[in-house]
Amino acid sequence: TFSQERAGVPAMALGIVSQCLDLCVEYARTRVQFGRPIGEFQLIQLKLARMEVARMNLQNMIFRQIEMAGAGKRMTLAEASAAKLYSAQAAMEVALEAVQLFGGNGYMAEFQVEQLCRDAKVLQIYAGTDEIQVGQIARGLLRG
């Protein structure tokens, strides 16, 4: 069903976000600009913190799905669409920030963040585009 298909997207997004975060933390520790690691710069710290918040949100969303399944409950189509929409957008945002953090290196195939960015984009298309998810969420809310 659409609900089941969409319910898997948060796990895929979590993998992308976690890998982006791991790569960015390592890069921020080792990449030196102006005589110091870029991780010491406040804007880089902000990017890393936002990535961690997205990772935690996705993880909590997955835990909620597991709890629902354990209780014999299924997500409604609107709930699954909301989870898919948030997850895909979070993965895309984190992946784009990872490319940005890596600078010119982030755009090169030799660095994994380039591939992760393409992987994140497909989550906004697979199992219904973001625009389709918005419609499903709104219809679910309006039905009550």
Distance separating alpha carbons of residues 4 and 7, to the nearest angstrom: 5
Nearest partner of 51 among 95, 86, 114, judged by Cα: 95
CA angle, 10 then 13 then 15, to 5°: 115
Q: Which tokens hold the place of 73?
A: 């409950």
Active site residue 5: yes
Helices 130-143 and 77-102 pack at an angle, to 10 degrees, of: 140
Distance separating alpha carbons of residues 137 and 135, to the nearest angstrom: 5
Q: Which of 5, 67, 114, 131 is catalytic?
A: 5
Largest CA distance in the chain: 58
Q: Find how far residue 67's CA is from the centre of its chain.
A: 21
Positions marked active-site: 5
